[in-house]
Chains A and B, each alone.
Chain A
Amino acid sequence: MGRLLVRQILFLLGIAFLPAIGQAIYYRNTASWHAPPADSAPVSVAEVKKWGETILWIDARAEAEFEKAHVPGAIRLNEDDWDTLLPGVLAAWSEDRKVVVYCSRLTCNLSHEVAERLRNEVALKNVYVLQGGWEEWEKSGR
């Protein structure tokens, strides 16, 4: 039984490589193999402040947190209320505006997910994630 089990495991592990390699070849020019795609790398507060006033801020946190405080001019957008909130974002967006998404803090993931959907599903360009999120923005003295 032990040898049979090992053989089965090795067979399954091995056979899975074949389609995976085929798919990787298909994606060879579109996937970033050594580092995350450049535009998904978070940007710092200092860097964003250099961009001036044309930034479209997207707040990916929960509504209660947004109501307490948010970056001036920020618009709410999160995955739970995506369909409801997206039209407001699109109405405010224009091609010359960089989009910066933030959530609560460095370790939150909501901003990454919203940014990714904006890039992939809405095909927006220049979408960035704020490093450190709202926590970092507050520390910077706004």
Chain B
Amino acid sequence: MGEERPMSDVSDQSGRFNWRRLLGRLLAAIVGIVFVYAGVLKIWDPLHFASDINNYQMVPWSVGIRMAFYLPWLEVLCGCALIFHRLFAGAVAITTFLMVIFIGATAWARMQGIDVSCGCFGSASSNLSLTWHLILDGGLLLALVYVWFTRERVA
């Protein structure tokens, strides 16, 4: 399943050094580190994360608490996949989907007048304003889109 090129290969098909691809790798690694960090914080305190999910008032508690146990591990796995460039396309697709969901849920909560902390970084994100969360999430999403379009494709 890890059919991408080796991590050190940032040259294009003609053998020339590809800066766009290198930037894509760097961005993928940065996004991966952020996902691992966010996931580990939530794994550390899943009940706090369950409470954060519950505050969005989008899913019942019984669903939210199960998500709170599952999503952080998925974030860590995908983050590692982005850092180490394994299962890369799958990890980019999942993290992009997660970012869209996070941003959508936050925007939805805001529109409903629900004053939430996003819970993106577990209890460590309590002091970050919603605006900063949205800026951070938007930046990560843009980076992932760039990574998606500059990744090596398997023929």
Whether A110 is near chain B, meaning CB under 8 Å from some CB there, is yes
Give the docked Cα–Cα distance between A5 and B51 (Å).
Answer: 33
A19-36 interface code vs B (CB 8 A; 1 in, 0 out): 110011001001111111
Known: A33-B65, A107-B113. A12 touches B91 (CB 8 A): yes
Interface residues of B in 1-37 (CB under 8 A from A): 1, 3
Say yes or no: B69 contacts A8, CB within 8 Å. no
Residue numbers in B under 8 Å from A51 (CB-CB): none
Say yes or no: B87 contacts A13, CB within 8 Å. no
CB of B108, distance to nearest CB on chain A (Å)? 13
The closest CB in chain B to the CB of A2 belongs to: B89
Say yes or no: B70 contacts A1, CB within 8 Å. no
Whether B73 is near chain A, meaning CB under 8 Å from some CB there, is yes
Question: Which of A24, A34, A109 has the most chain B CB atoms closer than 10 A to its own CB?
Answer: A109
Size bracket of the A interface: 35 or more
Task: Give the secondary structure class of A's interface.
Answer: helix
Chain B residues with a Cβ closer than 8 Å to the other chain, count: 39
Interface residues of B in 70-88 (CB under 8 A from A): 70, 73-74, 77-78, 81, 87-88
Give the docked Cα–Cα distance between A113 and B125 (Å).
Answer: 11
> Which residue of B62, B87, B116 contacts A12 across the interface (Cβ within 8 Å)?
B87
Say yes or no: A112 contacts B74, CB within 8 Å. no
Whether A94 is near chain B, meaning CB under 8 Å from some CB there, is no
Say yes or no: B54 contacts A4, CB within 8 Å. no
Give the docked Cα–Cα distance between A113 and B116 (Å).
Answer: 10
Say yes or no: A20 contacts B70, CB within 8 Å. yes
Say yes or no: A109 contacts B43, CB within 8 Å. no
Say yes or no: B61 contacts A110, CB within 8 Å. no
Say yes or no: A23 contacts B114, CB within 8 Å. no
Whether A116 is near chain B, meaning CB under 8 Å from some CB there, is yes
Residue numbers in B under 8 Å from A1 (CB-CB): 89, 153-154
Say yes or no: B1 contacts A11, CB within 8 Å. yes
Say yes or no: A40 contacts B51, CB within 8 Å. yes
> Which residue of A27, A32, A109, A120 contacts B116 across the interface (Cβ within 8 Å)?
A109
Say yes or no: A12 contacts B117, CB within 8 Å. no
Whether B47 is near chain A, meaning CB under 8 Å from some CB there, is yes
> Which residue of B48, B69, B112 contacts A20 across the interface (Cβ within 8 Å)?
B69
Give the docked Cα–Cα distance between A116 and B112 (Å).
Answer: 23
CB of B75, distance to nearest CB on chain A (Å)? 9
Say yes or no: B73 contacts A107, CB within 8 Å. no
Between-chain CB contacts (< 8 Å), 17 pairs: A4-B154, A7-B1, A8-B91, A11-B1, A12-B90, A12-B91, A17-B70, A20-B69, A23-B43, A27-B46, A33-B62, A35-B61, A35-B62, A104-B115, A109-B114, A113-B117, A117-B123
